[in-house]
Structure 1
């Protein structure tokens, strides 16, 4: 395999240095303090905490650290926000309570694991690790051997070795593993088990990236976008059917296998009853005892994430929300294109004289808040169900006319009135009052408003024209009138 030039490798690593949150944590100014706080409060049994709880705990630690002469001027909330922006933490909401929670990101876990390995390095080249690697390598050689004769020969060798060990145990020549060798093997197993939370964090991040990618493909035009839409409409679970989804499904099925779970718990109980287990710390004994439970809990959590993403993606497509977002995306791209063209003529700091309204209400006082009372939404009595009837087309048309202005009808009225006037004078114009005089307002004031809207777009307001008095009959049968600026139509409405 060709070697990678040093320059290319250095440039790639420099890019990773800027993009990878784990590297950012390791080279942070207060990396030791950040790692210690995150390790204490988010890397253990409580790997996820409410934001307010985490702020309170870190504030107490910061006060203690300041007494030792460390300069930590900011509050816990400010530090946590900076860590979240840097990618060390991930903010999520709890579906039940809608509260904000914080947990370590995959990159944050990777950085903590590296620091742990430097702080308390594990012994390498141990007997248990070498035996484990040898066993896995031999099993791989057997499983991948295309020759059935060689696979059978290797299996017979294993069977002969097992028979020889059985005979040795029966004759009293094979002693049980104990002492430091047994303790070393348990600790090696726990070291491998400690990497599992990192794997779950990476899996969750991978599913989040997959969900974002699928939504982006839906918004983009082209063949790929149509394929994703077709799959969603057909009910295909694109999250579960992905490579990551199928891989996790196989892992989850193994974790939830009742036979495997019973055997695992039985083996753990027997190991902890051995004499050598007394040399294990309380944390190591608890980690071994709760390992399978932890796997099941984290597996269930990833299942919930997959289900949530799949339902959200299906709802996003079937509710037609993606069409609105595609329009918005197109408008944003159009605005960016126009901004790029005007960048050479207009400086970024130039005053444009345009005021934009805020997208939220500014609250100036707590008295402006109104508490929500769920009891107000309770129905006074049970809702009665009524069977639907066959829709009446005439009634539907009447309902549409009652709720929307019939611009098609008004456009025809204007063009007809203008056509009659120009039959005698080719330069004639008609006003809104002229149209109403020939074609009464069938929708009452809505017709008047519609005509004025058409005139504002397709007509003019003569500079010295006198106001015009409009007459129409309301929906209640009463005659009404109004004085408005004279609007005239100078041409046909397309």
Structure 2
């Protein structure tokens, strides 16, 4: 590429890249500090209102040192418009949530690397590089002889290592080299949130491109429509989809996943791990869980996009959008020659009241449906009638325990004998409300009488269905009249 083409490409990148937009922003330090504090954890997602409140609290402390005149909500809106935050509908509750975009995660990682520069060259990194290059050379070599020679050499090395171990010669990696290797592992793990966010953003872009191709291409020539109608999952069958599916399959494999868990636990039990900061040990401990969580979220998004695309095609919604797109193109085509005769601001005698809300896409507009405002048939005035007190009392007895009746029954029983249990009261005054009368007597006895935990009695009552029932319970006794 010529210097002109390269300069123009970089100029376009400066305008389009949210990462560079974050680095060039006036409050980059505050933005990175706040976003990394609340959303940098793997899979972090916060309700919008909660993030607004958290940012407001942080701003109170920051305003003593920096000029930050806006509210937390306004800053979050600016970050969203700049591409640093992604706002999505909440899955488990009503409302929406914020999460970091892939570009914001990359920008935060750049700040962290500049603050704590990684080692330029380490032995473990060179060994990993050389090993990866050698393995790639072996796997891509079509010459069977050379591949057999490489495998034979590897087998000899393994046999020699086994012989040394059997002879008691154990060469354990020293602490310095072990720390170097684990730091390299942790550096790769820190890039995982940005990688997962980037994969999800790529799937969103691919989903948008497929929908656009459905609208832009004639139906008779659309291979996308043919593939979807034949049941082909275009998103999962893409290069990104196949790569992620293979990665996700490795994590879902119980044998490999449990082996990785065991290896992480073994590394954490080594002495050299204590030389690492607490945050690094925590990152290593949750490595497998973070991998599974990120993979599950991306796989869920992949499934949602695939289902949405199939539903969009099979429900014929694309036909409506295609017709709307055609009408818009016709209007734009008519507006071009009309602009030579009529200015856009010319008075045409029609007043249109515009909404005060700002829309980023015409797709956010929906037509008003008058039927949604219908409340049904109009309400008529009810006819006046006479209230029957006996009917109201019967309704009350169906929903409430008649404690007045039960109190009268208890007092009447105690007038004839010094004490009375619940069973004795029911024997003289049957339960007119069935089980409700029994429960009411137990409640009165617990409040005004005594309960013998070492003695039981049997109570009998007739239910509202006419059947006799019995129950054995602790003896509840009344020792005096109920005056309440």
TM-score using structure 2 length: 0.71
1:258-307 C-alpha deviation (Å, 9 max, x unpaired) = 11111111111111111111112221112112111111111111111111
1:217 touches 1:224 (CA, 8 Å); kept in 2? no
Q: Which residue of 1 aligns with 2:63?
A: 66
* CA-to-aligned-CA distance 1:411-431 (integer Å, 9 cap, x gap): xxxxxxxxxxxxxxxxxxxxx
Find the partner of 1:343 among 339, 356, 375.
Answer: 339
- 1:6 alignment counterpart: 3
Corresponding residue number in structure 2 for 1:28 = 25
The alpha-carbon deviation at position 178 of structure 1 amounts to: 3.0
Aligned to 2:126: 130
Determine helix, strand or coil for the equivalent of 2:87.
Answer: strand
Q: What is the aligned partner in structure 2 of residue 240 from structure 1?
A: 236
- Displacement of 1:223 after TM fit? 6.1
Query: What per-residue deviation string (whole Å, max 9, x for no partner) do you get for residues 206-240 of structure 1?
Result: 11011111111111232686322222222222222
2:150 is aligned with 1:154: yes
Change (3 A) 1:187 1:73: same
Residue 231 in structure 1 maps to residue 227 in structure 2: yes
Local SS of the residue matching 1:74:
coil
Distance 1:284 1:25 in 2: 26
The CA RMSD measured in Å over matched residues stands at 2.1
CA distance in structure 1 between the partners assigned to 2:94 and 2:158 by the alignment = 57
User: What is the alpha-carbon distance in structure 2 between the residues aligned to residue 155 and residue 253 of structure 1?
Assistant: 27
SS in structure 2 of the partner of residue 22 of structure 1: helix
- Hey, what does 2:104 align to over in structure 1? 108
The Cα shift of 1:46 comes to 5.7
3-state SS of paired residue (2:352): coil
- Which residue, 270, 281, 300 being the options, matches 1:274? 270
Deviations 1:77-129 (CA, angstroms, capped at 9, x unpaired): 11111111111111111234242111111111111111111111110210111
CA distance in 2, matches of 1:225, 1:80: 44
Is 1:309 matched with 2:294? no
Pairs within 5 Å for 1:228-377: 228-356=224-352
Equivalence for 2:475: none
Residue pair 1:106, 1:205 contacting (<8 A) in 2 also: yes
1:188-199 correspondence to structure 2 within 5 Å: 188-199=184-195
Give the deviation of 1:175 after TM superposition.
2.4
2:139 corresponds to: 143
Whose RCO is larger (CA < 8 A, sep 6+)?
2
Secondary structure (helix, strand or coil) at the match of 2:86 reads strand
Query: How far apart, CA to CA, are the structure 2 residues paired with 1:185 and 1:224?
Result: 57
TM-score (normalised: structure 1): 0.69
Distance 1:230 1:46 in 2: 36
Q: Secondary structure at the match of 1:347?
A: coil
Secondary structure in structure 2 of the residue aligned to 1:351: coil
CA distance in 1, matches of 2:311, 2:219: 21
- Partner residue in 2 for 1:182: 178
2:219 and 2:225 in contact (8 A); partners too: no
Partner deviation per Cα, 1:342-375 (whole Å, 9 max, x = no partner): 22332233333222366899xxxxxxxxxx9xxx
Q: In structure 2, how many angstroms separate the alpha carbons of the residues matched to 1:274 and 1:227?
A: 56
**Residue aligning to 2:52:** 55
Unmatched runs of 5 consecutive residues or more in structure 1: 362-371, 377-494
Match of 1:38 among 31, 35, 42: 35
**Unaligned runs of at least 5 residues, structure 2:** 358-371, 377-484
Which residue of the partner structure matches residue 437 of structure 2?
A: none
1:390 is matched with none
For the residues of structure 1 that align with 2:142 and 2:272, how far apart are their CA atoms?
42
Contact (CA 8 Å) 2:43, 2:193: kept in 1 or not?
no
Distance (whole Å) between structure 1 residues aligned to residue 60 and residue 262 of structure 2:
46
Report if aligned partners of 2:234, 2:306 keep a CA contact under 8 Å in 1.
yes
Distance 1:258 1:224, change over 3 A: farther
